Amino acid sequence: MLRDKVRIAVLVSGGGTNLQALIDAQKSGIIKSGQIVAVISSNKDAYALERAKNAGIPTTVVARKTHHGKEDFEADLIRAIDSAGAEVIVLAGFMCILSAKFTKKYENRILNVHPSLIPSFCGEGFYGLRVHEAALAYGVKVTGATVHLVNEIPDGGKIIMQKAVEISEDDTPETLQKKVMREAEWIILPRSVELICEKIKEEEK
């Protein structure tokens, strides 16, 4: 029997702007094959938790610093994901690198958005403003965002979608970050989530 929606868990650590883009896309019908059923934060003070509560989405905190190591932390993450019955996991500003054991458990079901055109300015150490600082320091004229599947290699999984953004002469890391979010991340992340959910529903037919 086909159920109506694929269940999505969103993992967050900070402000939750990408989470908000997903919530808005769900409301507007861009995401129609899936439903966000849980928001799980690695930080109890993340504003993303407020965004989830405002949208009526259940939240869980699995704080990295209160656990004795990665294995312990990931075991609790898995419990939270599985108890929500989530089939798709979206990393939306989630500031923890996941182990090969974790990514293998949810193979081809974890999505991440990275603020550059992979393979440029990606991999370990490239996150947040650092990515935009590197792009500007290198002098590239075009940057963008990439949504990819997550495997054991940071930013190393199969690319689902990319969108380019032009860099202006007067861009700073901060203005570029906002531009990439607005013109790329918030557009391709919801579309990619819909694509994956649609595929899961198709496979069940």
CB proximity list for 108: less than 8 A, separation 6 or greater: 149
Name the 3-class secondary structure at 22: helix
CB proximity list for 96: less than 8 A, separation 6 or greater: 13, 42, 64, 73
CB-CB contact of 143 with 167 (8 Å): yes
Catalytic residue among 67, 68, 114, 148: 114
The helices-and-strands tally (H runs, E runs) of the chain is 7, 7
Name the 3-class secondary structure at 131: helix
C-alpha–C-alpha distance, residues 49 and 110, integer Å: 20
Distance of CA 66 to CAs 41, 44, 49, 73, Å? 13, 11, 18, 8
Question: Is 114 one of the catalytic residues?
Answer: yes
CB proximity list for 115: less than 8 A, separation 6 or greater: 128, 131, 132, 143, 145, 177, 180, 181, 184, 185
Catalytic residues: 114
